Each structure stands twice: as structure tokens, then as C-alpha cells.
């Protein structure tokens, strides 16, 4: 395969070749374009056939970009985007086919793209699964459960016993089954997220997967207390409220940022639509088709 030379004679020959290809396409390139194109092609070390193909593509695009002298290109460009923009929807519509999910469309979405906003007002993803799983709803449902964030209130009731200064967490059997969560997952998530210097997790009443968990306030000496603990030492009820709120915010499973994951059948396969977006996190889930999965967050794609 013959490669384009980078020496002086090669540069001149490439410039003549670019002009020759452009003339065959019925276009005359300005000298500045020939120079820039020549420099870029030499840096890429392309073959002769690849160079010819690229120059032809540039010639075709150059032809489409030509305008008549004194044409008001600024006004035409403004009208070209303004007129269809006024016809676009001025509010958030339901996403087509998924009535439970709202996605910004129309003019608001266009403004987001033009402004290059880092986070869309209604981030969402369309998640496709691997070919061997895409027609199996149960397998797709399992993937959706791994993607959707599950917090403690989703699988258990959280209450406080003021007299005993403790928070009682009661796992709900049907919810555990629906979300694919075990009691051990709840206990591990609490241990990981709650400050062990302030709270102590103990087993409660009941048995099996629905046995309750209790969060008790730690009673330790003043020598090892933090400023945060000292601030609430004389206010145990405030500390109890803090324990309850922190427990409710604990994430047991799922990808950060994905609030919901809905399944819809598209022709011969099941597709997952998410409320929220985290492209990196979702692509790490086994069974997700990375080649087809999309997000409406431009910056996540850029990263």
C-alpha cells in the first residue's frame, strides 16, 4: 500500500494531487484550504487511496457550503433556526411510548444543547441489553433492578422509638422480593454509610429476612467525641432525628443518579428507559449493550 510522503517533494506532489481531485469534482479549492488539508493529511500518514477518498469528501462538502456573492448568510442562518424553533414544543412532553416519564423536548431541549448545559433538566437514558438477553423480560428486569437506585424506604419501613432513643428498621418481605434485595444487603449498606462513632446497629425482633434492625445512639466518653457529636450531646432527640434521616438516605443498590428504570417492549426486544443519567455507571452493569445504549447528557458522552 503506497503511503503519502512527508518530504518537500512529497508535500508539493500532495498539493498538486489535491488540486487535481478537486478539479475532477468540479471545484477549485482556495490556497489556504489546500495548505491546511495538505498539512493534516501528512500528519495522519494515510495511503494514497485513503487520501483520495478524504479529498473527494472535502470537495463535496465544500460545494454544498458555497454561496452566491453578497448573500446575507447571517440573516438566512438566523431564520433557518428561528422559524422551526418557533414551531417546536414549548413545554415538557411525555416521552413517546413511556407515559410515566417526562423528558424535555422541543425548544427547551434546543436551548439546552445550544447553551451546552452540563446537566439536562430531565436527564434520561435508553439502555439496550445484549442480544442473547434482549427478548427475555425476566433477564431485562434483573438488569433494570441493578440499574435503578434502591434506597432504604423502598424496601423497609423506618420508625423511631423516642422512649428508647432508637430507630427501628423493618424490612418488608414483598418489597425485598420485588427489588431483589436481601436483609444482609440492608445491614451492609447501613454499616457502610452510617457513622459508627455516633450510631450502633443491632439486630431487632422477628426472624429470617424480615427481622428488624435497630440503630442506637452511641454513648461514649467525651475524650473521643467529635464537634458534631458534642453539638448534639445535650439534644439526643436531634441526634435521633439525624439517625433516622441518614438511614432513609442510604443507597442499598443501583447506579448513582438513576431514579427509575422502566421496561418497554420495542418490536422484538425489551428496552430500559431510565429517569436520570450515569453513562459510565450503567455501562459497567453486566448485560448492557454498550454499543447501542444512549443518553441525552452531552457532557457524559464527551467524557
* pLDDT average, residue stretch 1-13: 56
Q: pLDDT for 261-288, tens place per residue?
A: 989 888 889 999 999 999 999 999 999 9
Q: In angstroms, how far is the first alpha carbon of the chain from the final one? A: 35
Q: Where are the alpha helices (DSSP H) in the chain?
A: 8-24, 31-44, 48-65, 73-87, 106-115, 137-147, 152-155, 173-179, 183-193, 227-233, 236-248, 279-283, 298-302
Spatial separation of the C-alpha atoms in residues 194 and 191, rounded to whole Å = 6
CA distances from 178 to 154, 185, 208 (A): 10, 14, 17
DSSP code string of 55-119: HHHHHHHHHHH---TT--HHHHHHHHHHHHHHHS-SSPEEETTEEEEEE--HHHHHHHHHHT-SS
* pLDDT average, residue stretch 245-257: 89
DSSP helix/strand/coil, 238: helix
Q: How confident is the model at residue 1 (pLDDT cuts 50, 70, 90)?
A: very low
Q: How confident is the model at residue 49 (pLDDT cuts 50, 70, 90)?
A: confident
* pLDDT average, residue stretch 118-122: 86
pLDDT of residue 281: 92
Average pLDDT, the chain: 82
Share of the chain above pLDDT 90, in %: 16
Per-domain boundaries in the chain? 12-65, 124-149+257-302, 151-218+235-253
pLDDT of residue 48: 84
Which position has the higher pLDDT, 225 or 298?
Answer: 298
**Would you say how long the chain is, in residues?**
303
CATH number of 124-149+257-302: 3.30.70
Of the candidate CATH numbers 3.40.50, 3.30.1360, 1.25.40, 1.10.3470, the domain formed by 151-218+235-253 belongs to 3.30.1360
| Residue 139 near residue 145, CB atoms below 8 Å | no
> Cell for 111?
436551548
Contacts of 9 (CB under 8 A, 6+ apart): none
Which position has the higher pLDDT, 217 or 32?
Answer: 32
* pLDDT average, residue stretch 65-73: 88
Phi and psi at 264, nearest 5°, equal -140, 140
> Cell for 109?
431541549
Q: pLDDT for 92-105, tens place per residue?
A: 455 555 556 677 77
Q: pLDDT for 160-217, tens place per residue?
A: 888 888 888 888 888 888 888 888 888 888 888 887 777 878 887 877 888 888 888 7
CA angle in degrees (0–180, nearest 5) for 249-195-230: 115
Amino acid at each position: 500500500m503506497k503511503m503519502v510522503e512527508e518530504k518537500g517533494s512529497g508535500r508539493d506532489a500532495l498539493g498538486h494531487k489535491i488540486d487535481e481531485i478537486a478539479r475532477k469534482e468540479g471545484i477549485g479549492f482556495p490556497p489556504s484550504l489546500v495548505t491546511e488539508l495538505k498539512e493534516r493529511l501528512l500528519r495522519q500518514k494515510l495511503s494514497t487511496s485513503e487520501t483520495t477518498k478524504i479529498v473527494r469528501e472535502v470537495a463535496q462538502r465544500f460545494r454544498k457550503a458555497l454561496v452566491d456573492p453578497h448573500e446575507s448568510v447571517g440573516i438566512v442562518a438566523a431564520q433557518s433556526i428561528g422559524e422551526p424553533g418557533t414551531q417546536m414544543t414549548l413545554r415538557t412532553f411525555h416521552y413517546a411510548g413511556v407515559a410515566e416519564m417526562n423528558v424535555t423536548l422541543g425548544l427547551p431541549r434546543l436551548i439546552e444543547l445550544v447553551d451546552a448545559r452540563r446537566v439536562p433538566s430531565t436527564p434520561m437514558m435508553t439502555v439496550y441489553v445484549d442480544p442473547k438477553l434482549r427478548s427475555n423480560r425476566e433477564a431485562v428486569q434483573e438488569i433494570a433492578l441493578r440499574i435503578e437506585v434502591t434506597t432504604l424506604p423502598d424496601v423497609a419501613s423506618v420508625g423511631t422509638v423516642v422512649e428508647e432513643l432508637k430507630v427501628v428498621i423493618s424490612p418488608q418481605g414483598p418489597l425485598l422480593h420485588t427489588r431483589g434485595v436481601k436483609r444482609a444487603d440492608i445491614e451492609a449498606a447501613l454499616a457502610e454509610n452510617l457513622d459508627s462513632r455516633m450510631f450502633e446497629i443491632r439486630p431487632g425482633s422477628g426472624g429470617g429476612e424480615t427481622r428488624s434492625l435497630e440503630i442506637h445512639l452511641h454513648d461514649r466518653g467525651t475524650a473521643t467525641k467529635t464537634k458534631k457529636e458534642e453539638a448534639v450531646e445535650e439534644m439526643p432527640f436531634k441526634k435521633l432525628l439525624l439517625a433516622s434521616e441518614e438511614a432513609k438516605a442510604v443507597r442499598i443498590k443501583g447506579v448513582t443518579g438513576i431514579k427509575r428504570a422502566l421496561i418497554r417492549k420495542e418490536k422484538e426486544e425489551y428496552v430500559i428507559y431510565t429517569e436520570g443519567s450515569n453513562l459510565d455507571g450503567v455501562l459497567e452493569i453486566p448485560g448492557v449493550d454498550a454499543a447501542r445504549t444512549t443518553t441525552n447528557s452531552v457532557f457524559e458522552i464527551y467524557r
